[in-house]
Chain A
Amino acid sequence: MSCKKFKIFLSAYIDQEITKDEQEKLLEHLKTCSACTRELKYLKQMKRIFLLKEKKEPQEFFETRLFARIRSKRERLAWRAYLPVFKKSILAVLIFFLLVVGLLNYRNFLYQRPAEIISDLLIDTEIEENFEEELLEIYYGPLG
């Protein structure tokens, strides 16, 4: 097995994420390989450096600022909660308006159509005028 493979094992070894079989092979290899022994020393130092790294604090009033943002977001969300209801109301008004307009037109259609038909049939002014002229000719003889 190559040293590179053992170096990958070493990285997992210091994290205690190595199988028992891999660990046995690695420890056997370390007995004879000075390069890998040096690598192990480096990895241990690296771990130590990170362990010494102090945790940093967030900036002042982190929670106060966060909760203020949450409150403002909640207010916005609360307003948004009414948005679907508002949209539905607008839609309902629009549908109602269209229905009313439609009904009125339909009513006009129902009541006006027969009148139009009758007027079309009976009130033809040209026929009526001709008829009147014919009657006058019968009574008074040919006109003009």
Chain B
Amino acid sequence: MEEDFELLAKFRKGDQHAFELLVRKYKMTVFNTIYSIIGNAQEADDIAQEVFLRVYTKAGSFKGKSSFSTWLYRITVNKCLDELKKRNNRIISYETEFNEEEKLKLKDVLASREKDSTQELIRKELQDIIQKAMNSLPEKYRIILTLKEIEGLSYNEISQVMKISVGKVKIWLFRARQKLKEKLAFLYPQGE
């Protein structure tokens, strides 16, 4: 956190290399957050570029009341919300239904031991399956699950990024998980 503030201070004084270091440090975080919320890699790449351009032009307005990463997440989430608003005027349909093969793979992964399921091929396939499940959720639940499960933010950090109370974070996460459970109902046969 201190390192981020130092890099930002250097960048404000005109050190372009400090900004490059910040980009290198956070590009994966920003890209994966957007990808998880938006569900499309090409669009996530474009939005990630927009996020860093905004950081570049607005670095002077960052007051340091929160950590740099919280500020960056807030810009990222806002950019995603802008994009999702634009989408309301367009018809975009992502696949959200699982086929039989995907259902079996997910069951296998959950049944297997940790070391088996870390095989690269399985992990890659699993990524698409999870993304499909995420795409089926309402946007606020997609955002909150991304911040918690993909990025590992605390409830307090999520409340700062989404500008909602910690109590609301608790309830929204509960509801998001219930929605996801409905989507993955095939993993939990009745009575099990």
> Residues 165-189 of chain B: 1 if any A CB is under 8 Å from the residue's CB, otherwise 0?
0000011011001101100100110
Interface size on B, residues (CB 8 A): 46
Binds B, one of A54-62, A97-105, A128-136: A54-62
- A11 to chain B: which residues have CB within 8 Å? 170, 173-174, 177
Q: Quick one: closest B residue to A62, CB to CB?
A: B27
Given the complex, which residues of B lie within 8 Å of A63, measured CB to CB? 20, 23-24, 27
Contact B48 A7 (CB under 8 A): no
A48 to B149, CA, bound (A): 10
Q: Give which listed residue, A8, A47, A49, A58, contacts B126 with CB less than 8 A.
A: A49
Instruction: Tell me the complex Cα distance, A56–B126, Å.
Output: 12
Query: Quick check: A55 and B171 within 8 Å, CB to CB?
Result: no
Q: How far is the CA of A70 from the CA of B106 in the complex (A)?
A: 42
- B124:A15 contact, CB within 8 angstroms: no
CB pair B123 A17 closer than 8 Å: no
A58 to B109, CA, bound (A): 26
Chain B contacts of A49 at CB under 8 A? 106, 109-110, 126, 130
Check if A81 is an interface residue, CB within 8 A of chain B. no
User: In the complex, which of the residues A38, A48, A56, A70 contacts B32, with contact meaning CB atoms closer than 8 Å?
Assistant: A56
Distance to closest chain B CB from A94 (angstroms): 32
Report the interface size for chain A: residues with CB under 8 A from the other chain.
31
Q: B66 — which chain A residues lie within 8 A by C-beta?
A: none
Distance in angstroms from B127 CB to nearest chain A CB is: 5
Q: Find out whether the CB atom of B110 lies under 8 angstroms from the CB atom of A48.
A: yes
Q: Which residue of B lies closest to A59 (CB)?
A: B45
Rounded to whole Å, the gap between the CB of A15 and the closest CB of chain B is 7
In Å, the complex CA distance between A67 and B23 comes to 10
Which residues of chain A are within 8 angstroms of B32 by Cβ–Cβ distance? 55-56
Whether the pair B126, A62 counts as a contact (CB closer than 8 A) is: no
> 0/1 per residue, A3-30, Cβ < 8 Å to B?
0000110011001010000000000000
* B30-47 contact mask (Cβ, 8 Å, vs A): 1 or 0: 011001000001101100
Interface string of A77-114 (1 = CB under 8 A from B): 00000000000000000000000000000000000000
A1 contacts the other chain (Cβ, under 8 Å)?
no
- Which stretch of B50-58, B68-76, B81-89, B92-100 is in the interface? B50-58
Residue ranges of B at the interface with A (Cβ–Cβ < 8 Å):
20, 23-24, 27-28, 31-32, 35, 41-42, 44-45, 48-49, 52-53, 56-57, 106, 109-110, 117-118, 123-124, 126-127, 130, 145, 148-150, 154-155, 170-171, 173-174, 177-178, 180-181, 184, 187-188, 192
Given contacts A49-B126, A57-B28, 15 further A-B contacts (CB under 8 A): A7-B178, A17-B154, A42-B181, A46-B177, A46-B181, A52-B118, A54-B126, A55-B28, A56-B31, A56-B32, A57-B31, A58-B31, A58-B44, A58-B45, A69-B53
